Every structure is written in structure tokens, then in C-alpha cells.
Amino acid sequence: MNRISSSSKPAILTSAALASLLALTGCSGGAAAEEGGSGGGLTVVATTTQLTDFAHEVGGDDIELTGLLAPNASAHHFDPSPADLLALGEADVLIVNGADLETFVDDAVDASGFDGTIITAADGIDLDEAKHITSEGGGADEHDHDHDHDHADEAEHDHDHGDVNPHIWTSPANAIGMVAEVADGLAAADADHASDYEQRAADYTERLQELDDWVATQFDRVPADERVLVSGHDSLRYYLHDYGIEFAGSILPSFEDNAEPSAADIDALVASIEEHGVRAVFVESSMSPKLAKTIADEAGVEVVDAESLYADSLGAPESDGATYIGATVHNTTVILEAWGAQVDAVPDSLQG
């Protein structure tokens, strides 16, 4: 069984403590949303909300799916509940993002007794390219929007994930590679339904390609020197790179959304906002808007908090961000409307 390396892991219940807690609680409480599955199929646990959505699209009714993270929650400081660990211990497959996102995974696997297959979605993309994008100082000024959708074919397994911004899913092109990895892993774990997984993945990939094309078309209308964005934390780097949007900085100067900016960090961000002519500061759904409002006020720009961006997490059921495609359409629309740009109607294929 593959292991996910991590550092600074939160305390996780030991197996003995877990057993005691489950006895006291009657196995109640915690595992996040369960989606799909008609009973008796492959039992799958996914860590993030995005991976849960990918697994739902690919697995369909052939899997029994549990997502560990709740909508609008963050994987950066997630602590599995007893019910989460129980679900993991009974699973056949665990789907993780990788790229050092889920620091809780190794301890959760040990505590739960999980002994199944781990699918690492990050293995579906080119992590060397991700490292290059992570290291870009100012973001992307001008990039070719003729995206390469064959990341899965180019991916090298067993990369060192260090120094990679872990928010790889924010790029629809990366999402395509991650979905391919999920489909390959499910097909290997459940050969009887392999062709079904492959067909669903192909159908979903077609929609992701349409999503990528639609988003690129929207941003292409905005002059390159006006495509500048400040995010809540450094969570949208690959999305910005794909669509030629310059990254002027983030409210929290870190990959993680629980970092603490210093006074110097805030001053530097305000200066960057003023220097780059940033029009708005965007709040993310997993973060408090208070600091964003303070920085926006100081810089004299708009703060967009009524319609938060979905970065670390998808949104609640029935919200615009309940699915990966819906969240990406929502983010694109909110950003462009804050910039005063035109947004095309969303194609029927990207609805629902």
C-alpha cells in the first residue's frame, strides 16, 4: 500500500481510542457527505470535496462513496472524526489529492486500519510543470490558451511533491489528468466495471474540456494588463496561470488558509494592489472576510465577499459551487463581473 508523506500532522486517534469512542457514540457523527452507490459496490472514501465530486462522476452507481471533508471546509487543518475513521477503515479505496495537501492521511490510515488501495490524483498531472508554476514570482502575464489536455499521458509517478502548490485541481486541465488517474485506479480495483468507469471518465472529461474552453474565452476578452487578481490565500495559482491572469498576491501569504500575515505582509500586499491596479479583493468560502475587508479598505478597492470564491472546497448542496464544474463557472463569473467584463451564457453542457 502506498503511503502519503506528511509533516506537522495533527493528533489522530489511536486505534484503541477510536474503538472506545465508537462504542460510546454508537458509531455516530462525522463522515462527511455520502454520494451515490446502490449498495454492495466498491466502497470508496475521498478526502477533498473536489475529489468526492470526481469520484461521483466516474464511479456512478458502481461505488459507495464517502467524502471526508464537508463543503466550505479546508483540508489544511482537517481532523478526522471517529465516524470518518470508521468509514475509512471499511473502505476498499482511498482517493487523495497528494502533493502534500492532506497532512492527516498517514495517521488516519494507521488509526482506521485501512488496508485498501490508495489512488493519488496528483499522479495524473505533470508535477514538474506544477513546481515551475509554483515558483513563478508574479504569476502569468501572457499564456497560450491552447491548453494541453493530455496531462495523464505525460505524468511521471513517484515524484517528490515538495515545493508544489497543492491546489492542483483549480486548473480544469489538471482536473482532467486527476480524473483520468481516478478512473484508472477504480478500474484496477474493480475490473468488472472497468469499462463503465472509463466511459464515465471520458464523458466527464469532455465536459471539463468544454469548461476550459468556455473559461478561456471569457478571460480572453479582458486586456492582458487588466487581468490581475488578489486571492484569499495562494490557492488559485494554476487557474491564474492557465488563463493568463497575473497573481498580485494573497491575503494570507501561504499555500495554507490558516497562516497569519504580518503587518509587513499586509503593507506589501496593499502596495502590490495599488501598483498593479487591482480592482477587487476576493474572499474564499473557507475563510473569514474580515482581513480581506481591512486590506481592501486600506487599498481603496472593492471587496467581493457576498459571492465568495470556491478554492479549497466546493460549496454546499444546491449552491453554485456544489460541483467542480459549477464552482469553476461561479468563480469565473464572479471575477469577471467584479472587473466589469462581459460573461457569456453558460452552455447547457455545463449546467447542473
- The verdict on residue 170 lying in a domain is yes
Q: How far is CA 338 from CA 70, 285, 307, in A?
A: 28, 17, 10
Q: What average pLDDT does the structure give for the chain?
A: 83
Q: Are residue 287 and residue 231 in the same domain, yes or no?
A: yes
Q: Are residue 158 and residue 20 in the same domain, yes or no?
A: yes
- The verdict on residue 45 lying in a domain is yes
> What CATH number corresponds to the domain at position 141?
3.40.50.1980
Q: How many domains does the chain have?
A: 2
Kindly state the cell numbers that stand for 338.
467584479
Q: Are residue 126 and residue 247 in the same domain, yes or no?
A: no
Q: Pseudo-torsion of CA 275, 259, 5, 169, nearest 10°?
A: -50
- The verdict on residue 217 lying in a domain is no
Identify whether the C-beta of residue 209 lies closer than 8 Å to the C-beta of residue 175: no
Q: Which one of 182, 211, 240 terminates a domain?
A: 211
Q: Are residue 174 and residue 302 in the same domain, yes or no?
A: no
Q: Are residue 268 and residue 337 in the same domain, yes or no?
A: yes
- The verdict on residue 4 lying in a domain is no
Q: Are residue 121 and residue 252 in the same domain, yes or no?
A: no
Identify whether the C-beta of residue 6 lies closer than 8 Å to the C-beta of residue 102: yes
pLDDT tens column, 164-197: 999 999 999 999 999 999 999 999 999 999 999 9
Q: Are residue 161 and residue 206 in the same domain, yes or no?
A: yes
Q: Is the pLDDT of residue 81 over 70?
A: yes
Q: Are residue 184 and residue 250 in the same domain, yes or no?
A: no
pLDDT tens column, 198-251: 999 999 999 999 999 999 999 999 999 999 999 888 899 999 999 999 999 888
- The verdict on residue 228 lying in a domain is yes
Q: Is the pLDDT of residue 292 over 50?
A: yes
- The verdict on residue 128 lying in a domain is yes
Q: Which one of 189, 211, 233 terminates a domain?
A: 211
- The verdict on residue 270 lying in a domain is yes
- The verdict on residue 339 lying in a domain is yes
Residue 280 belongs to domain spanning: 224-350
Q: Are residue 55 and residue 171 in the same domain, yes or no?
A: yes
Q: Which one of 185, 211, 237 terminates a domain?
A: 211
Q: Are residue 328 and residue 234 in the same domain, yes or no?
A: yes
Instruction: Give the bridge partners for 63, in sequence order.
Output: 42
pTM: 0.83
Q: Is the pLDDT of residue 161 over 50?
A: no
Q: Are residue 199 and residue 268 in the same domain, yes or no?
A: no
Cβ neighbours of residue 30 closer than 8 Å, sequence gap 6 or more: 80, 81, 82, 83, 84
